[in-house]
Every structure is written in structure tokens, then in C-alpha cells.
Amino acid sequence: MRDAMQLDGQLAREVEHFQGHYAQEAAKGIEALNDFDKSRYTNPPANTIFPREYYYHLLAPLAGKDVLEIACGNGIDASICAHNGSNHHAYDLSPESVKLTRQRAQINGVSDRMQLQVCGDFTQAFAGQKFDCVIGYAALHHVPMEGLAQQVYDRLRPGGVAVFAEPVINSKFWHVLRRCVPVYHVKPSEDEVPLNNSVIAEFTRPFDRIEKREFQLFSRVWPFFPNNWPLAVGLHWLDHWLLKIPALRRFASVAVFGLYRDR
């Protein structure tokens, strides 16, 4: 386990990185959720080809549920959840992230369903409260994970679920290739490390059951062509069929999983 000084150093570097990142994003302007996104993330099917839709499939229905979001980032998921009826509690260690999330909630008319905190410690975020859902989209690989799984389990009510979507690397060849060609749609922070199946398996230990799917082989390149929706759909369909082959799943770059507390 890392000592307190190492953890504090990691958190300080994450704050510095994301303060600049989210300040730049806010400066570009904040758009309201469009009708297409409101519809597609309300109750997606289990066999969806898109990782974010599967994330919301595992969460649905959200109406009336108390949700705690780890590392709310740019606030898009917070606004989607609140739009779908959650009583949303979100925190992030970056004040710029929380500011952006608050502004986005106001633009989307969901501020009344949103509570926000600037915080870097899961146990301190909305301390003492229990939740129906704990969520994080690309959050776990940014935060200290020692002991976090049990803490998440303990804050779920019986019947609750924790849902995460994370970048993963399970192939040594893929890992070497990505290091040799360091081209990123979004520049990573200094300390972030994608998860792997072993880390995910260890994280699931406190929970009663898990649902998990892998995504993104060729569709990983789609964000570099954001205005080409037919290309996005085609690449995701290709991945959907390829990932039915178990041997290819270790080459996936995203895993989405729901962890359940049944009692």
C-alpha cells in the first residue's frame, strides 16, 4: 500500500491536471443535452453496441433513486442521471469540475435534483449517507482504489448497484503498441493507469454478483472523427460481433460492469 504522502502527491497532480482541463472545456461553452441523448440514455437495451448506453442499462430505472457519483468530471452524466429522475449527489476533487457540473445542471434545468461537493475522499463525500447507486464513468483509474470496493459496498443500500465504465488493458501486445504510438483523444493525467481483469476481479470481492461487458476494439478510433455518426455505428457494430468471440475480449479497451449488493 502507498503511504499518505504518495497518495497526497497523486491527488495534487490530479487536481492540477483537471483544473486546467475543465477550465478549457467550460471556456468552449456548455450545451444543453439534446433530445437524442435524453432518449438513448433513459432505458437502453441490454444488447446495445455502445458502452455508455450499457452503463445506463445497468442503472435503469433511475427515477427516485439516490445516486452517488465518484469524480463527476464535466457533469454530463450527472445531468443525464438527474434528467432521468435521480436524486443526484456528485463530487470531484477539482473545483473546476464541480463548477462545470453545476453550470451544466442549471442549463439542463436539473439543479433541484443535484447536490455537489469538492472532495477527494470517498468516505468524506456526503458522509453518513446511503445510496441506491454508486457510479463512476472513467473514474476508478484516477482515484486511490485501496479499500475502495468495501467502502462502496458499505454505502449501498440492500438491493443497490455500483456501476462503472473503465479503460482496460489486458493484452501485453496492445499495451506496448499504445505506448509506442501515444496518440490520445484526451490527454491522460500523469497518474492514471487503465484497469485490467485482475484488478476488476479484486474490486468485485465484497459484492454479491457482477454483470460485465467489454467494448471498443476498432471503435476506439471513432472520437477522432466525432461528426461521422455512420462510421461510429459501423465500428461499434463490428466490435459487437467480434467481441462475441471470447479470445478477442482481452483486446477490448473499455469494460462496463455493475456490482450488486443483494442483502
Give the CATH number, domain containing residue 86: 3.40.50.150
pLDDT digits (tens, 9 = 90+) for 56-102: 999 999 999 999 999 999 999 999 999 999 999 999 999 999 999 99
Torsion of CA 77, 256, 215, 183, to 10 degrees: 60
Question: Residue 126 in contact with residue 68, Cβ under 8 Å?
Answer: yes
* 43 within domain boundaries: yes
* 15 within domain boundaries: yes
Please tell me the pTM assigned to this model: 0.91
* 51 within domain boundaries: yes
Q: What range defines the domain where residue 150 resides?
A: 4-172+186-215+251-261
Q: Average per-residue pLDDT in the chain?
A: 90
Strand order in the sheet with 114-118: 114-118, 87-92, 66-70, 131-137, 156-167, 254-261, 209-215
Question: Cα–Cα distance between 56 and 66 in angstroms, integer?
Answer: 15
Number of domains in the chain: 1
* 233 within domain boundaries: no
pLDDT digits (tens, 9 = 90+) for 134-188: 999 999 988 888 899 999 999 999 999 999 999 999 987 665 555 555 555 566 6
Report the residue count for the chain: 263
Question: Cα–Cα distance between 254 and 169 in angstroms, integer?
Answer: 8
* 236 within domain boundaries: no
* 245 within domain boundaries: no
**Cα 261 to the center of its chain, rounded Å:** 19
